[in-house]
Amino acid sequence: MVLLYPPFAIQIVQVVSMYENVTVIAGPTSVGKSTIVAEILATHPDIYYSVSATTRSIRPSEIDGKDYHFITDAEFDELIAKDGFLEWAKVHELYRYGTLTAPLLDALRAGKKAILQIDLQGALQIRNKLPDATFIFIAPPTFGELRKRLDDRATESEAEKVLRLRTAEHELQAENEFDYIVVNDDLQQAVAEVVKIIYR
């Protein structure tokens, strides 16, 4: 039998439990993940949002440092070399996106709850590294609705839309790998469900 010196035992409990405060939100393109997350953050400013780094170019509606850290390919390579990412992936066969480890750990050590809004590949990497985290898949009511939302959003070219829908088909098959599936039919209801899961 191993007897742990009490302060050490307490430290272990703290380290293990802090990852329970991580909620990973994934789901296919244009399903409404960003809108759901924005609604939650507006009403729960105590939650830390993990701002990812990406090599994609900025959209007119976005703010650098708030929506993403928009960085160059060379800067992304440098972060990989420095082990700065908890996970990273090339999404839609186009651009790289990654979760920065240091600011996330700072928030968790400060006792905060954290939300990561990432793709399926990233979610699976996090599940291997942080099995105590909670994984939520946001699903569309139908695949046709997903296509409609992508058209309505009008932020991608036709070629990019084809790529995104191809990824979406693959991602939809993985929903059973998640702890929870929330169907985004009614936005407010989906937000309420996600909040309930985060604070359960």
Please give the residue ranges that form the binding site for ligand 5GP (CB under 6 A). Answer: 33, 52, 56, 87, 89, 91, 97-99, 117-119, 121-122
Residue whose CB is less far from ligand 5GP, 12 or 64: 64
CB of 126 to ligand 5GP, least distance (A): 9
Residue whose CB is less far from ligand 5GP, 32 or 122: 122
CB of 22 to ligand 5GP, least distance (A): 13
Angle at 30 between CA 171 and CA 56, to 5 degrees: 90
Integer distance in angstroms from the first to the last C-alpha of the chain? 34
CB of 44 to ligand 5GP, least distance (A): 19
Residue whose CB is less far from ligand 5GP, 11 or 151: 151
Burial of 33 (0-12, 13-18, 19+ CB in 10 A): buried
Residue nearest to ligand 5GP (CB): 122
Residue whose CB is less far from ligand 5GP, 11 or 148: 148
Hey, what are 141's tokens? Answer: 């009511």
List the strands of the sheet with 22-26, edge to edge. 48-49, 114-117, 22-26, 134-139, 180-183
**Kind of pairing between the strands at 180-183 and 85-91:** unpaired
CB of 146 to ligand 5GP, least distance (A): 12
According to DSSP, residue 63 is labeled -
